[in-house]
Amino acid sequence: MFTNLTKLDLKDKQCMSDAGSPKLCMKALPGEGAERSCAYDGARVVLMPITDVAHLVHGPIACAGNSWDNRGARSSGSQLFRRGLTTDIMENDVIYGGEKKLKESILEIALRHNPKAIFVYATCVSSLIGDDVDKICKEAEVELTIPVIAVNCPGFLGDKNIGNRIAGEVLFDRVIGTAEGPNEKIPLSINLIGEYNIAGDIWGVIPDLKNLGITLQTAITGDAKFDDIRSAHKASLNVLICSKSLTNLVRKMEISYGIPFMEGSFYGIHDTSETLVNIAKALGDPDLLERTLVYVRKKEDETRKIIAGYKTLLENKQAILFTGGVKTWSMVSTLAELGINILAGGTQNSTPEDFQRMKELMDPSAQIIEDTSSAGFLKIIAEKKPDLIVAGGKTKYLAHKTRTPFLDINHGRKLPYAGYQGMVTFAETLTRTVLSPVWGLLKQEFPPKESEQDD
Amino acid sequence: MSHMKTSTKATKDWLNTLEYREKNFAREKLVINPAKACQPLGALLCALGIEGSLPFVHGSQGCAAYFRSTLSRHYREPVAAVSDSMTEDSAVFGGQSNLIEGLKNANALYSPKVIAMFTSCMAEVIGDDIKAYLGNAKEQEAIPKDLPVALANTPSFKGSHITGYDTMLKGLVECLATARQEDKINDRLYVVPGFDTYTANLREYKRLLKVMDTPYTLLPDQSDVLDAPNLGTYELYPGGTSITEMNDALNAASFLCLQTYSTPTTRKYLASKEVPVESISMPIGIAGTDKFIESIAKFTGKDVPEEITLERGRSIDAMTDSHQYIHGKKFALFGDPDVLIGLVSFLLEMGGEPVHIVCTNSTPLFKKAMESLLASSPYGQGSTLYAGKDLWHLRSLLVTDPVDMLIGDSHGKWAARDANIPLVRVGFPITDRVNLHRYPIIGYSGVINLITMIVNTFLEEKDRTSSDPYFEMMR
Ligand code: SF4
Ligand code: SF4
């Protein structure tokens, strides 16, 4: 919780050239407060939205028990991915090893749950007792007709980002490019990378892609089907959504399959348009580009008209923005489109590049949140007295305790904010949050002071 | 062996057959949709209930982040805890340096009155000796020598959250209480709620004890910590059992444990210190509550106040008003042992039939107790306890041998949906409904609340599904 940056043990000093830059490159400080999750969690976040495969956690109960369907990634088809599958390692397994149990679990799943593939996650305990998850998966695969894929991501390897990267590698090594049939590129097709369909985000973008004639080969991994990811190498372009946690993956795909990549974001009107236009440019089709330019202008006008009323209500509100990582910079411009000023901004899991970009977009007077702990956060709320806080769920109840309107933009939210339609939802939700009569009620003195009673 | 080639639809249908149920119950190695949490989560909940106590996870940080978010989602409150973030290096060299540095930082940053330290699996697997490490930490002056640090070994590959709760509670008493002195015996009843995630239950216990004029200490007491008033500032330590009362715990006139299966270690410890200790089932339902009230009355030696008698009368009146909606209905239940005993006893009182009872963290003692409870009532004759089974087993039971309602926590919603029956949420965690932890399920008022939830859910269903001729004003 409390972090003193100067005290931190840095693995890579360069990352800290900037005050408040994200803590990507450092270990969590023992005893500082357990805000950050682990590599296992990071891997699961990336892989779990693949909907028609089984996700088997080889570990004691809690690794699976606590993370079972906890992210709000939505599926339009199979719901198999949400099932909490675990070997539930017990004391005997710790003593004698859990490989046999793991093997039987894999076979049981293959036989009875009809998955397209099985991902098997190693956790702290299974790694420490020396279970060879790779070996077991290979053995099982010989007996089965579906891929059984080991994900070596014990929590102790580090935090979430490391897990994200491991997941990217697993997808590249074991899934992408394994589809049967011809390998030629699908014209005007893209993959969205790092889009997990939280609250149905991706469904706010697909209509625009369709209208423009762009084919979504697959998202990695929101609402994804295993076979579509196997064919991800047939796409003409990779679009990295906000986060760079999967940069390793798009780089490798560029080298191996010649798929160029670009970054983009579908949060906010401006960024959505810019991303669509950039996709059109990158796909190199003059017709498409022309269509897109006309399309986004029309969409922008329409959307601005719809949100104008909300903007009047939100104009000049002062916000603190703090994200877990992915959407930081995009959120800065999204809030600006509603006339909201940012008093202070910070990020926890982003890359230094994301952070730089966020900083450039913010008003120079905005403060960078350096101390990203709860304590630092409370301090900044007390100093700045913002009208609202836009952050991830971990900060939600702290914000409420300080009587500050709060909007969750991470996976705890229940509404999609991506694309033009998402912007309308976002504006509407934000307005409801900020203007709730509850805040006024909380600010009333009770019992009322004498003077107030008189008038 | 080859992978079954069936369509998704066919698989779905097959999952609902008796044939699959048999195969499902033959499953041994794999757990699907578990209905238990792990030891450290229980330890964390326990630790929060002591004044100025900072929960400290010795182990990998991911676990700690999970525990916090799970509790936070249930209570809709911030949950404080630190971890010493063990990594690969610690796996090789042991976690001592993390533990010492962690203690130093945690103490400097949070100024706790007591640190409640418990382990995650990782520390347990590599065999860290936290007691020795703590000694070294104090030796090295990482923390003041007189700062109390309570210890609990909580490997998740044994037991469940209720085991962790128990071990931590014992650790806290062991660490904070001074030795029992016969001339210093206090007049208080120390009441242990057990792994109880209803802040309202804790408040209700306190109210009842007060009404019965009992000198008491609730140990631990998370009610103010996890249901803190909104006063505009965030308090890190908003309440809990006071340190003074902790110090005096072994001088208690007596201990009363209100859950049997989440307190055995603590009870054993107390008994070894010659503290009188009694344990009863969680006071859910009339019989359970009566027993609780009787125990208190026996302790104080005073008559049961009229206020309580009237309360009981009102609950029984509510039962008579609504018995017809529960009598003869079939139920499935899942949850922790103590809660299940209470709920089943309540349903039997109302003539409800608890047909399927699933308890993932069952023990042989619990099995015996549940079976004798079922045997004691004609409404329990068709009931089966499924010990050690998970929610996927429960699903099979629900689709092949249907019941009218499922009672359990939010994790049960998939099974309930597949079986097309309503779920009434009781237990932990409840992450998809608001405020339920603010309604007591214990005591006579708990009886009324349970009736309200169960009966109104049935009536709601009836209104939603009935055709015009049967849609009516009166139910
Ligand atoms: S840190 Fe280890 S034990 Fe904890 S949740 Fe992550 S993988 Fe599981
Ligand atoms: S590794 Fe152990 S302590 Fe950590 S979450 Fe998993 S079961 Fe719990």
Q: What is the pLDDT of residue A70?
A: 78
The yes-or-no verdict on residue A282 having pLDDT over 70 is yes
**Per-residue pLDDT band at A379 (split at 50, 70, 90):** confident
Q: Which residues of B touch A393 (CB under 8 A)?
A: 69, 72
Instruction: Compare all CA atoms of chain B with the CA of A1 and give the residue at the minimum distance.
Output: B82
Ligand 1, atom 4, lies closest to the CA of B63
Q: How confident is the model over A163-178, as a mean pLDDT? A: 96
pTM of the complete model: 0.92
Pairing verdict, β A85-86 and B31-32: antiparallel
Query: B2 and A90: CB-CB below 8 Å?
Result: no
- Among the partner-chain residues B1, B30, B125, the one whose CB lies closest to the CB of A143 is B1
pLDDT for the residue A3: 31
In the prediction, which pLDDT does B3 show? 41
Q: Chain A residue closest to B161 (CA)?
A: A62
Rounded to a whole number of angstroms, the distance from the CA of B178 to the nearest CA of chain A is 28
pLDDT of residue A392: 82
Question: Mind listing the pLDDT tens digit for each residue in B298-337?
Answer: 999 999 999 999 999 999 999 999 999 999 999 999 999 9
Residue A14 has pLDDT above 60, yes or no: no
Q: What are phi and psi of B127, to 5 degrees?
A: 75, 35
B420-461, pLDDT tens digit by residue?
Answer: 999 999 999 999 999 999 999 999 999 999 999 999 999 999
- The answer to whether B103 contacts chain A (CB < 8 Å) is yes
Residues A63 and A43: beta-carbon distance below 8 Å: no
Are residues B110 and A2, on separate chains, in Cβ contact within 8 Å? yes
B31 has which bridge partners? A86
**Which residue in the set A62, A78, A85 is minimally distant from B37, CB to CB?**
A62
A84 close contact with B: CB closer than 8 A? yes
Report pLDDT for A64: 87
Residue A8 is predicted with a pLDDT of 31
Task: Look at B31 and A129 and tell me if their CB atoms are within 8 Å.
Answer: no
Confidence band of A361 (pLDDT split at 50, 70, 90): confident
Sheet holding A341-347, edge to edge: A367-368, A341-347, A318-323, A388-391, A406-408
* Chain A residue closest in CA terms to B160: A61
Rounded alpha-carbon distances, angstroms, from residue B217 to A264, B49, B301 = 58, 12, 18
Nearest CA in chain B to A412: B73
CB contacts < 8 A, A to B, total: 240
User: Is the Cβ–Cβ distance between B168 and B152 less than 8 Å?
Assistant: yes
Q: Which atom of ligand 1 is nearest to the CA of B61?
A: 1
Looking at residue B235, what is its pLDDT? Answer: 87
- Residue B125 is among the residues annotated as catalytic for this protein: yes
Name residues 179-238 of chain B within 8 A of A (Cβ): 228, 230, 232-234
Q: Whose CA is nearest to atom 8 of ligand 1?
A: A63
Q: Is B199 in the pocket of ligand 1 (CB under 6 A)?
A: no
Closest CA to A82 of B460, B417, B48, B141: B417
pLDDT of residue A330: 84
Quick check: B93 contacting A, CB < 8 Å?
A: no
Q: How confident is the model at residue A61 (pLDDT cuts 50, 70, 90)?
A: confident
- Residue B63 annotated as catalytic: no
Q: How far is the CA of B39 from the centre of ligand 2 (A)?
A: 8
A195 phi and psi, to 5 degrees?
A: -115, 115
3-state secondary structure of A219: strand
DSSP reduced 3-state for A356 = helix
Q: Which residue has the higher pLDDT, A371 or B234?
A: B234
A window 109-148, beta carbon within 8 A of B: 109-114, 124-125, 128-129, 143-146
Q: What is the mean pLDDT of residues A227-247?
A: 90
Give A82's contacts in chain B (Cβ within 8 Å): 414
Our answer on whether the CB atom of B91 is closer than 6 Å to any ligand 1 atom is no
CB contact under 8 A, B233 and A112: no
- Lining residues, ligand 2, CB within 6 Å: A 59-63, 123-125; B 38, 40, 59, 63, 66, 120-121, 156
Q: Please, which residues 218-277 of chain A have a Cβ atom closer than 8 Å to chain B? A: none
**Above 90 in pLDDT, residue A212?**
yes
At residue A25, does pLDDT exceed 60? Answer: no
Which range is most confident: A140-154, A311-325, B228-242? A140-154
Select from B34, B106, B125 the Cβ nearest to the Cβ of A64. B34
Terminal-residue alpha carbon distance, chain B: 56
Using the Cβ of A166 and the Cβ atoms of chain B, whether some distance falls under 8 Å is answered with no
Q: Annotate A164-209 with DSSP letters as a single string.
A: HHHHHHHIIIIITT---S--PPPTTEEEEEEE--BTTGGGGTHHHH
In chain A, the percentage of residues whose pLDDT exceeds 70 is: 89
Low-confidence ranges of chain B (pLDDT < 50): 1-6
Cα-to-chain-centroid distance, residue B167: 14
**Which residues, in sequence order, are bridge partners of residue B151?**
B117
- In which element (H, E) is residue A400 found? helix A396-401
Q: Which of A58-62, A420-424, B194-198, B355-359 has the lowest mean pLDDT?
A: A58-62
* Amino acid A370: pLDDT: 75
| Ligand 1 pocket, residue A342 CB under 6 Å | no
Compute the mean pLDDT over every residue in chain A, rounded to the nearest whole number. Answer: 87
Looking at the complex, does the CB of residue B38 fall below 8 Å from at least one CB of chain A?
yes
In chain B, which among 377-406 make CB contacts under 8 A with chain A? 392
Residue of A nearest to B431 (CA): A70
Q: What ipTM does this complex have? A: 0.90
